[in-house]
Structure 1
């Protein structure tokens, strides 16, 4: 049985900055030596609401990137959309505030041992973890292309940073307010063929991840995706984030996204059963 990330620790950390970037908040945390064990695809579980809050469960947030500096030591960047009560509370915290975190959690993206051609696909603020991944891939000599998509231009996170991070960047918005009109899957197979893509790394809405998996199903392209499931505890206890995954013998198991994921092989996820209760043979 899978267990919690062996490097996970619980610590009180300090918010170094909290900046509004488009529709999101870019939050920088001083996390010290925790960064040494963080990998692209890992996430952090944060206690939200304060000591008197009724928000009992932690909230999970993807780690955008980590770095080490002489001024602050280890820092962790989060990109947060202020939607629910927990994320709104986090986005309201000021510089110098201390918060309770558990990190790093979950599985990470698989990094190749030799140079490959990689395509990174992000939907909305789901693209944030891909920037740190791009840095790692390029350090390994990989050719890295990126597709970013959202419903409107304001929900594309840091497009200029994306251009600096990869070899090429294409942006798609459903309303045509930025980049090309449409979705990131519009011309995917042609892009895969033209650029000789070996691996797709994706992060974003589940419908997008499912569509990418279906499109590359008949190709040799590997699809590693960071699934978006509600992770109420982040440590595999509450079972709210279970996802139907196909086993080697064809049967289906309900795996915990926070322990066995969030990064998974897209071809093994039973996308047709997501949100449903699969039949179990007797």
Structure 2
């Protein structure tokens, strides 16, 4: 579902610019229709390859920013970790190249009805959608604290934008190459207490999201998480992104991460089976 009930569109986007930061690549794409309706937590599904090498399955890319005004009006930004053939192809796009996109897709992060202290937790390129969410929350009057983590410094994303708007930014890396040494979730409890947080938002691998959910439960606050799953079609048809979620009667059912998610209440996901 998309915010405001607006359905996704198919749009041929032109690459406005490409930027490499460590092991990650961000692409700014001219896609005015998608930009107009996108919200933090949503994603686009990008066709991979050219006419002679196109792959059947699209790649789901979280939207890290969308602009509808100013110098970069009508653009969306996506962040890519070029680990496999498809993502490496996408990361190799340069200014003037074109990409076939479908979007915006998925359910966005729910925003509070008024100012609400929030802790944002991101691991690796999960910092993309969280950076945009932080800007949105601050603009609505919510104090924000950000925890950014990665396995190593070259996989961090969003530190500088976060420092410009957040009350505090804590950086952790598993190997100690940036910030404190330790897992991303080591700083979450302290941040919740320090800020008096009423909600936690998170984006990253399942293990991080699961732990964030546990910590939020310990502090009796909500946790909204953007799950990473193989969302090939993006519209709930291919069923490649099924994950088990709890329902009100104590049972569970399989939900589609691309439609009912990717943003879900952390407590709903049966993480052991999902992982």
The normalised TM-score by structure 1 is 0.93
CA distance in 2, matches of 1:3, 1:73: 20
5+ residue gaps in structure 1?
A: 276-282
* Structural RMSD (CA): 1.7
Q: Give the superposition deviation at 1:3.
A: 9.4
In 2, are the aligned partners of 1:105 and 1:234 still within 8 Å (CA)?
yes
> In the alignment, does 2:225 pair up with 1:235?
no
Separation of aligned partners in 2, 1:42 and 1:8: 11
3-state DSSP of counterpart to 2:135: helix
**More divergent stretch after superposition (133-142 vs 149-158):** 149-158
SS, match of residue 141 in structure 2: coil
Distance 1:6-1:158 versus aligned 2 partners, 3 A rule: closer
| Residue 71 to residue 121, structure 1, CA distance change in 2 (3 Å) | closer
Deviation of 1:54 after TM superposition, in Å, equals 4.9
Once the two structures are superposed, the pairs formed by residues 196-211 of structure 1 within 5 Å of their partners are: 196-211=196-211
Q: Aligned residue for 1:260?
A: 260
Whole-angstrom distance in 2 between the partners of 1:229 and 1:216: 22
Cα deviation for residue 154 of structure 1 reads 1.4
Q: Secondary structure at the match of 2:185?
A: coil
* Rounded Cα–Cα distance in structure 1 between residues aligned with 2:114 and 2:193: 20
User: How many pairs were matched up?
Assistant: 274
Aligned match of 2:122: 122
Shift of 1:156: 1.0
For normalisation by structure 2, the TM-score amounts to: 0.95
Asked whether the equivalents of residues 35 and 74 of structure 1 are also in contact (C-alpha less than 8 Å), the reply is yes
Which string of whole-angstrom CA distances, capped at 9 and with x for unpartnered residues, describes residues 212-264 of structure 1?
11222233210000001111211111111001000000111000000000000
Q: Cα offset for 1:36?
A: 1.7
Question: Which residue in the other structure is 2:46 paired with?
Answer: 46
Bigger drift between 233-242 and 46-55 goes to 46-55
Q: Which residue of 2 aligns with 1:180?
A: 180
After TM superposition, the structure 1 = structure 2 runs for residues 85-96 of structure 1, keeping only pairs within 5 Å, are: 85-96=85-96
Residue in 1 that maps onto 2:79: 79
What does residue 223 of structure 2 align with? 223
Report the equivalent of 1:280.
none
Q: What secondary structure, in the 3-state scheme, does the structure 2 residue paired with 1:248 have?
A: coil
Q: Which segment drifts farther, 118-127 or 210-219? A: 210-219
Which residue number corresponds to residue 141 of structure 2?
141
* Corresponding residue of 1:153: 153
Contact 2:121–2:147 (CA under 8 A) maintained in structure 1 = yes
| Residue 52 of structure 1: how far off its partner (Å) | 1.6
- Give how far 1:20 is off: 1.0
List gaps (5 residues or longer) in structure 2: none
- Structure 1 191/158 Cα, relative in aligned 2: closer, same or farther at 3 Å? closer
